[in-house]
Each structure stands twice: as structure tokens, then as C-alpha cells.
Amino acid sequence: MSYQALARTWRPRTFAEVVGQEHVVRALVNALDKQRLHHALLFTGTRGVGKTTLARIFAKALNCEQGVSSQPCGECGACRSADDGRMVDLLEVDAASRTKVDDTRELLDNVQYAPTHGRFKIYIIDEVHMLSGHSFNALLKTLEEPPPHVQFLLATTDPKKLPVTVLSRCLQFHLKPLDQELIRAQLERIAAAEKVAAEAGALTDLARAADGSLRDGLSLLDQAIAHAGGELTSRQVQAMLGLTERGAVLTLLESIAAEDGDRVLALAAELATQGADFASVLREMALQLYQLSLLRAAPDAFAARQLDAGPLHSLADGLTAEDLQLFYEIAVLGRRDLPLAPDARSGFEMSLLRMLAFRPEAPLPQARAGGGGARAATASPREAPAQPAVADGEPAAAAADTRATTAETAAEHDGSQWQRILAQLDLGGLPREMASHTVLTGQDSKCVTLRLDARFSSLLNEERRRELEGALNAHWEMNRKLVVEIGEPDTETPAQARQRAADEKRQAAVESIHSDPLVKDLVKTFDAELSTDSIRAKD
């Protein structure tokens, strides 16, 4: 067969061709140019990021007939044999298949002999963490003090499994996963060089599926070319990767934006009929929400990433920036919770129903500026609060104004007044404990705002907020939304007032005991000392 896989054809042969590992390349180039060569290098990182590629380029640079440098000539016999995998003095070992100590001893038997043709005898040991404990012990001494003509280049995807005795004898270079944009740009260059027409969206999908590995990206490009048989389109690549078509996800988001619940569930049923992977659908949904947020907030950055904005414009008017953030969070959490659902379809549909049921809470104009770091505790439902019941013949607007005025009078923004209100509420347990660390900061006919002391923010959750909201509505005979902010109270909270009263009562008890004649006589007669820690005020 004359065809060679793209991952092999386009493997870098010089440091200049390496993509995305500038920090490691710079260190290796400086070491070669300044002749500061450590005898053992360890390359770590996930699969397909260039560990063995860098090791081979480094080996070629060491044995180039033109001399040791960061720019091997590529023309001499040593360079050509290294590129072709025929270099006699380069021994490449896959530790995953040679884990036994006998294999390691056999490998090291020839370490003391000089190289056949080059300056160095170079050992590249891939997946070195797979060696057994005895194999590492056999390697240690040689790794610490090898002959001057020996160079060890180790590579692993899991450095945590290496003994610290090995790590301490190596210079370690960590190769990072490649950025999606780097992979996409490299795939675009290779596709152009291979004379393969490819849509930008198709290359973006391949780069995303590569998950930081350029080698995986090239393998996927190879597969996509074979799958398409011609021009690469987004539809073909998504079908190959088993991804839900982007148009179906956008249609789903448009239906959610239009609050068309029947249409949303019909689309979900259609996806189920097609055998869609609901986790992948939620992933694609989160991705489209991210891209739309990027388009709205940073259009220049969106354009620089060469993303297709066309289909997203139809959603721009239907969803606010806050909607996008909330829906993104629902999609991500829904994907995480999918294995816990009764079944995948119901879990997916429940995520869609959450998007239909909730909207982000609008900021309250009467909230105080002093709570700049405060945050709203919950997202409010789409439905407006129900109107309070009115007596027969009483105008609704007049009744609402009367009750709002009465409530405003009954709950002035005063700490002592809020303490009296809290004492009258039918509330207990943790909801009361949470309420005792709040102060009333604002209210109108539709909303009540409390500020919770930031030191007790862990007490706040949606269930306790709802229980407190119900108790307040029952007390005031009104149906109003409760918003709980986190911040620094500007007045005394009921808990602080309770503690202050207890301290004052205890101090009065201490002073009373100190002034008691009998206690004074005992202290004077026996040279005693009164222990005030044991004094408790009587309830």
C-alpha cells in the first residue's frame, strides 16, 4: 500500500513544525544550542500531543552529522534514517508490551557499548509508567549514571505512576492539550495541502472531537475524508461522529424561546425516534448557547474563531443574555444528572421543561447600593405572582394598595420591627435560623427583599427561601415574591439582638453576684476568686 495515514505523513520532523508546545520546544532548543544536555528527559501529557515526536526530533538533533544543534539538516544519512525509523543507534521501546524485568535487563545489556554510527545511543521508552517495580529498580542505576554516550528519552501519559526515584533523575517536560483553535487551523492547512475541500463547521467539529489531541484530529480527518468521499460538510462530519445535527438543536432552542412547550416535546420525541444520544444533544445545546453568548458579548472574538453566525441570528431576539446563562447552566447540569434520571429521555425532557419554566430574576430597583457584592438566591418562575384575594365589591387595585400600605407600615426598615415580625411568624427549624440572620432592606406590593449576613450564607437554599416566603405571605395576607441577598447587614439582625440581650442579662447577673454580701465575705475570708465563666443568666 502506497497510502500513508495523515498522522504519519504530517508528523513534525523539526522543532519549527511542532504545533502548540512552544514552552517545551524553547527549552529543548536552548539545551541543544548551548550544549546543556541532560542524560534523561521525561515527556508527560495526554495522548497525541507530541511526546514521542519531540523525542524523535531531539534524537535526530543529537546525531545529525552536521553537529548537535536545534536545527538538524534533514539531509544527512543520520537524519534520513531517523525520519524513516531506521536509525541503528535509536532504540524505541513500548513499555506497555515489555513490562517484565527480564525485558528491561535485556534492553540495558548493551548500554555500555558505544553507538554504531552516531554520537549517542538513544533509548526512547514510551508509556514508561507501565514498567513493573522490578523493571524500575533495574533501570534506576543506569538512569542515574549512564555512560556519556547514552541518552534516555522517556514518555508517559500518567507520571503519577512513576516512582519518585525515577522522577528525581529526569528533567520533566509537561505537554499541554492543544487548544481547539490550533487543531482546527492545522486541520485546515492539511486539508488544503491534501486538496480536500472542507467547510469551516466540519473542521470545527473535528477539532472539538479531537479533545486536545492533534493526532486524534488527524485520524478523524482521515476518517472524514473516507466517509465523505469528496467535500467535507458539517452534516457529514456530524453524522460520522454521531452528533445531533446543529439545525435540530437550534430549532429546539427557538421553540424554547417561543415558550412553545408542545413543539419542544414533539422535537424531543423526534430525536428519541432517531435514536439520538441525549447527553450529546445537551452538550450540543450548551455549545450553541455558549456560541450565542459569545456572539452577543464579544462579536470580534466570535469572528476571530471563524464560527458560523448565520443560524444563530434567529435566536438573538428571542433570548436575553440572562436567558442564555440560565439555559446553559440547565443544559450542563442536565447532562451531569442524566444517569440519575428514571431514563435518559425523561431526564432530557425534564431539562427542557426547566428551561420553559424559569427565567432569570430581574434586578429590583429598590435594592440598596450597599449590597454591591450581593447576589440573588434563586431564579424566579416565568409566571407572575398571583394576585391577592379581595372581598366582594372591593376594587382589586384599591385592595392591593391598602394591603401594601398596611404591610409597609407594619414592617418599617428597622431592625427592631423586623425582629417583632419574625417573632410572630409560624416558622421553625433552619428556615427560622436563616431568617434570624437577615434584615429587611426593601419591599413593595410585589416583592420583599431581605439581606442575609454573608457569614451565614450556607443556610440559604431554595427550600428554606420558599418556606420563609410562605410564612411572610401568610402573616401579611399578601402574595409577594421573597428575594434573599447575601451581604453585610446595615442594621442589627434578630440573632444579633438576641445575643446582645443575652450578653446584657448575663453581665447583670455577674454584677449582681459580685455585689452580693455573702459572696464578698467568702472572697475576703478564703482569698477566693469568683469564676464568672460558670454564670448563666436565668431565663
* Model confidence pLDDT, tens digit, residues 481-537: 888 888 888 888 888 888 888 888 888 888 888 788 888 887 778 777 777 777 766
* Model confidence pLDDT, tens digit, residues 171-192: 999 999 999 889 999 999 999 9
Instruction: Please report, rounded to a whole number, the percentage of residues in the chain having pLDDT higher than 90.
Output: 23
Question: Quick check: 463 pLDDT over 60?
Answer: yes
Q: How confident is the model at residue 470 (pLDDT cuts 50, 70, 90)?
A: confident
Q: Write the CATH number of the domain with boundaries 6-174.
A: 3.40.50.300
Q: How confident is the model at residue 538 (pLDDT cuts 50, 70, 90)?
A: low
Instruction: Please report, rounded to a whole number, the percentage of residues in the chain having pLDDT higher than 70.
Output: 87
Mean pLDDT of 284-297: 87
The conformational region for residue 106 under phi > 0 = left, psi -120 to 50 = alpha, else beta, is alpha
Query: For residues 149 and 178, is the Cβ–Cβ distance under 8 A?
Result: no
Whole-number pLDDT of residue 456: 86
Whole-number pLDDT of residue 508: 82
Cα dihedral across residues 128, 134, 140, 141: positive or negative: negative
* Model confidence pLDDT, tens digit, residues 206-226: 998 888 899 999 999 989 988
Most confidently modeled range among 234-238, 261-265, 276-280: 261-265
Q: How confident is the model at residue 329 (pLDDT cuts 50, 70, 90)?
A: very high
Query: For residues 422 and 435, is the Cβ–Cβ distance under 8 A?
Result: yes
Q: Write the CATH number of the domain with boundaries 180-241.
A: 1.10.8.60
* The residue to which cell 485546515 is assigned: 188
Q: Write the CATH number of the domain with boundaries 398-492.
A: 3.30.300.150
CA 189 to chain centroid, in Å, comes to 30
Whole-number pLDDT of residue 539: 57
Hey, what CATH topology would domain 246-359 get?
Answer: Zinc Finger, Delta Prime; domain 3 (1.20.272)
* Model confidence pLDDT, tens digit, residues 353-404: 999 988 776 554 444 334 444 334 444 444 444 444 444 444 444 444 444 4
Q: Which residues contact 337 (CB under 8 A, 6 or more apart)?
A: 347
Give every strand in the sheet of 40-44, ordered side by side: 90-94, 121-126, 150-156, 40-44, 171-174
Q: How confident is the model at residue 301 (pLDDT cuts 50, 70, 90)?
A: confident
* Model confidence pLDDT, tens digit, residues 87-106: 888 888 888 887 778 878 87
Q: How far apart are CA 302 and CA 300, in angstroms?
A: 5
Query: For residues 398 and 390, is the Cβ–Cβ distance under 8 A?
Result: no
Residue type, 95: A
Most confidently modeled range among 244-248, 292-296, 326-330, 466-470: 326-330
Mean pLDDT of the chain: 82
3-state helix, strand, coil in the chain (%, to 5): 55, 10, 35
Q: How far apart are CA 187 and CA 225, in angstroms?
A: 12
Identify the helix (H) or strand (E) that includes residue 453: strand 447-453
Mean pLDDT of 444-472: 87
* Model confidence pLDDT, tens digit, residues 18-61: 998 999 999 999 999 998 889 999 999 999 999 999 999 999 99
Whole-number pLDDT of residue 265: 93
Say how many Å lie between the first and final Cα of the chain, rounded: 94
Q: How far apart are CA 272 and CA 211, in angstroms?
A: 27
* Model confidence pLDDT, tens digit, residues 129-186: 988 888 888 888 888 888 889 999 999 999 999 999 999 989 999 999 999 889 999 9
Indicate the length of the chain as a whole number. 539
What is the per-residue burial (b if ≥16 Cβ within 10 Å, else e) of 11-36? bbbebeebbbbeebbeebbebbeeee
Please tell me whether residue 395 adopts helix, strand or coil conformation: coil
Angle between helices 344-357 and 261-273 (to 10 degrees): 160
Please tell me whether residue 370 adopts helix, strand or coil conformation: helix
> Which residues, listed in sequence order, are joined to residue 440 by a DSSP beta bridge?
450
Whole-number pLDDT of residue 383: 45
Domain boundaries, the chain: 6-174, 180-241, 246-359, 398-492, 496-534
